[in-house]
Structure 1
């Protein structure tokens, strides 16, 4: 098989992972051991499929292999002899989960069990539902990879100890898990829209899955303002994707994009949704981010962008949900309203967690460029290129350093 074939297999395995884990947990119970069994099945597939070719039904193949591994574990647990006998009586070669049943949302809610801390909920869900690897999750959290590995291990152990059932929680418990669920979907979408590493800027399967799950949440909770806000944010952001790269995959920054390539239907749907939500629900962080995205999308050209309105929205967002990335984006808005030097002055006091982040160096480079400090801008672009693991971002930043 070619490298492209290997890439397609990797993408397929990522998409199938939650579709395999859900039926296993539903049938056998034991989230932690089922997750381990699925990981072993994925490894087996990654090894065998490039050599033997794809099976006729890849999902069933994975379920079969994972089921056999799950049963093998049960057989080795003497304390579960009775359960082993009942499970062994099943036909592992064809678990046949109920047709048309989508376990992904149920799996997401299980991963956001209240016995877990919010960081553990997010890390586990990104792994089990989003299909992200531990290094990718670590980059999303801006923390060491070992920290994420520990969070995932502890989370699986706590779910096992809690005896949580594999079903959607009752309505009265949904709001308690909603904040973690929304943050998980937000991170999955962001990883899909701007991949943290690799040759491609986008990982469309992740952003599409985040949108799909958020739509499911919105259908179930249509009066929750933050669910609507997140869905609108995703629509308004993803609408720009067709214009973000050139035919050869090179990154095109927002001011230089051909806005005629933007998805007009997604812009209209997202704008209508956030406009209605801001009138009818208490304002939250996702709604404010969606409003900012709407201001960008409604500008016919980059020079028409209402940066003063964007700055006001970022100031509200920083008050409501402060964070280093919010501050960094607000500084960009400050520079666009009050001049690049005003933004550079504020960059000097940025949160230490972002001082060595490539986005901070990229913002500094852009503002230095606007201020006419070309040589300092080139060095900042080079620094940003060294810090990012995204190949399209590296190439773009290096091209700016060379211009």
Structure 2
């Protein structure tokens, strides 16, 4: 296996196993050890990168990583435990026998533990994304639209808090998950979104992260079978992943207008509808995830861009706007939908009304949408100007390449 393949494999395994390893070791050694556990897991992956290049990959990668990280952790605990009981190192064979359900159950338990910490909902999300999802500071910064330094401070403060409450914490019965669902769903939503458009690498869709969000959602569903918002979230996820094969080309994004719809995965679309149809609206009100899933379903059911029911999509965005009146991204998406059946000039004016409310994270979608509207209104010079403006706020190389492609087409 080449060095490049090893790098790719360890990156994939980090996404797949990071949360499982943190949660499994936390369940075994106590949540109060979580910082030592994070360090031990990080060391295990660094050793894997080094050793696997020369010795090849082990038969059971998860067992190997647990074996290395657990012994690293035991060494650390023993060094810190002067006068206390010394823990014995474990053998590789002991970790071969870990059942997948043990790791998954401990993962769900840790997610619930974070939901019970007495901090703001925002900080619960940040803590969960850092410890369970393996997000770096910059990834969390982008997902939460907060400065990197703020994220670092929140993580640092959380370490003290976790140690304080871990000793008295009693594990939750999975069957009584209902009160924890808003937090769980929000974490899964952010996790999927970060995979959908990564902040770190050229790879614009981190499929591993998206499918991990789906896998965890299905795990939660085992204990919350008829949960309306969970079914809506799963529907949304499946509608989005169905379009993955058509969204990327060598030089950047392919907008939905030009995607080859024969590449959309019909089986995944059917799976999305199956979850959507499980929602009983006579018992549940429309929620954010349901509305987003409905919007995605309209796209997935449309034979082409021109025959898309843009008025319906605009109406759904309007309802979403009612639920989230301060969500600028929702307002921008509504304008994009309206541009397919309303005059362009009033929509441009509507966009400028949003400008005072922008933060740094929203400037890329704002300027690129303005450029799109001017392009649609056949004002080439203004379109080029705002595409150039948007280049200063691109989040990854694919965004950058997409905008440069738009500029080259306008100049040709």
Q: TM-score, normalised by structure 1?
A: 0.90
Q: Structure 1 residue 222: deviation in Å? A: 2.2
In structure 1, the partner of 2:358 is: 352
Q: Structure 1 residue 114: deviation in Å? A: 3.6
SS at 1:337 equivalent: coil
Q: Distance in 1 between matches of 2:195 and 2:237?
A: 11
Q: Distance in 2 between matches of 1:214 and 1:23?
A: 19
Q: Structure 1 residue 300: deviation in Å? A: 0.8
Q: Are 2:303 and 1:300 equivalent residues in the alignment? A: yes
Compare 186-195 and 111-120 and name the one that shifted more. 111-120
Compare 221-230 and 26-35 and name the one that shifted more. 26-35
SS at 1:222 equivalent: coil
Q: Structure 1 residue 389: deviation in Å? A: 3.1
Question: Is this contact kept in 1: 2:112–2:180, CA < 8 A?
Answer: yes
Q: TM-score, normalised by structure 2?
A: 0.88
Among candidates 236, 249, 260, match of residue 233 of structure 1: 236
Q: Structure 1 residue 234: deviation in Å? A: 0.6
CA offsets, 1:248-301, max 9 Å, x none? 363211111111111112222212432441534222111011111111111111
Q: Are 2:15 and 1:14 equivalent residues in the alignment? A: yes
Q: Structure 1 residue 369: deviation in Å? A: 0.4
Q: Name the CA shift for 1:276/1:100 in 2 (closer, same or farther; >3 Å).
A: closer
In structure 2, the partner of 1:266 is: 268
CA offsets, 1:73-100, max 9 Å, x none? 3223347x44x33xx1453655536423
Q: Name the CA shift for 1:266/1:20 in 2 (closer, same or farther; >3 Å).
A: same
Q: Are 2:357 and 1:380 equivalent residues in the alignment? A: no
- Structure 1 unmatched ranges of 5 or more: none
Question: Is this contact kept in 1: 2:251–2:401, CA < 8 A?
Answer: no
Q: Structure 1 residue 356: deviation in Å? A: 5.6
Question: Is this contact kept in 1: 2:175–2:223, CA < 8 A?
Answer: no
In structure 2, the partner of 1:91 is: 90
Among candidates 121, 124, 142, match of residue 124 of structure 2: 121
- Structure 2 unmatched ranges of 5 or more: none
SS at 1:76 equivalent: helix
Q: Name the CA shift for 1:70/1:165 in 2 (closer, same or farther; >3 Å).
A: farther
Among candidates 328, 339, 342, match of residue 335 of structure 1: 339
Compare 224-233 and 5-14 and name the one that shifted more. 5-14
Q: Structure 1 residue 47: deviation in Å? A: 4.2
Q: Name the CA shift for 1:166/1:123 in 2 (closer, same or farther; >3 Å).
A: farther
Question: Is this contact kept in 2: 1:378–1:402, CA < 8 A?
Answer: no
In structure 2, the partner of 1:391 is: 397
Q: Distance in 1 between matches of 2:229 and 2:362?
A: 31
Q: Name the CA shift for 1:235/1:35 in 2 (closer, same or farther; >3 Å).
A: same
Q: Structure 1 residue 52: deviation in Å? A: 4.7
Among candidates 161, 164, 173, match of residue 158 of structure 1: 161
CA offsets, 1:6-56, max 9 Å, x none? 233222223221222222112111323222322232333334444554344
1:183-222 correspondence runs (5 A): 183-222=186-225
Question: Is this contact kept in 1: 2:239–2:300, CA < 8 A?
Answer: yes
| Count of residue correspondences | 397
